Amino acid sequence: MAKFFDVHPDDPQPRMVSQIVQLIQSGGLIAYPTDSCYALGAQLGNRDALERIRRIRHLDGKHHFTLVCKDFAQLGQFVMVDNDIFRSIKAVTPGPYTFILPATHEVPRRLAHPKKKTVGVRIPKSHLIQAILTELGEPLLSSTLLLPDEEVPLTQGWEIKERLDHVIDAVIDSGDVGAEPTTVVDFSSGYAEVVRRGMGDPARFE
């Protein structure tokens, strides 16, 4: 049965943040609210949680997972970014965008795209997630909580707990959450290609 955390979105309770981080570090899989929609999250090196996400979402081996990073210093450890691309990303970050970029050797091989050797990264604009990332000390392995054969992500913590109670370890609720995922921009070829239109305005990358 999944634990349920009711956390303040702007002033997250330190005790709850610590409990969530401890659960992640002990191998837990969480459903958590981002600045766009709900996502599934786990520790970066957690192979079991990665496979659980694949099963929950019916994902194949070519799916791009996302590393949710605290800041650009952390992001720069896991992807290769030249100056022009850095400026483009910096202009809309933090915010509801995911960027696909070449992975560095810091990214576990099973997380990177098998052929392109790329991975998704983002820096969210969320006090709650920033608090979790600060205490965790590393990026959070993440994937949009979009269930198979459904067109929009789940938005209510209680509904997520009801539907996924026995396949995840915790649900974090912090109030209203959007139903639209991030806009995804692929920079892996050296130029911007919008591969998913979402909450972030894609116009500047088109």
Residue 23, pLDDT score: 98
**DSSP-assigned beta bridge partners for residue 100:** 120, 186
The CATH topology of domain 3-205 is DHBP synthase (3.90.870)
Query: What is the CB neighbour count within 10 angstroms for residue 180?
Result: 15
Structural element, H or E, at residue 172:
strand 170-173
The per-residue pLDDT for range 24-49, each reduced to its tens digit, is: 999 999 999 998 899 999 999 999 99
How many residues are present in the chain?
Answer: 206
Mean pLDDT of 173-191: 91
Of 77, 51, 48, the C-alpha closest to 138 is 77
How many other CB atoms are found less than 10 A from the CB of residue 196? 15
Query: CA angle at residue 33 from 28 to 35, to 5 degrees?
Result: 135
Mean pLDDT of 167-175: 96
What does DSSP assign to residue 79? Answer: B
DSSP assignment, residue 196? E
Rounded to whole angstroms, the Cα distance separating 161 from 163 reads: 6
pTM for the whole thing?
0.94
Looking at residue 191, what is its pLDDT? 92
Domain ranges of the chain: 3-205
| Residue 112: pLDDT band with limits 50, 70, 90 | confident
Predicted pLDDT of residue 40: 97
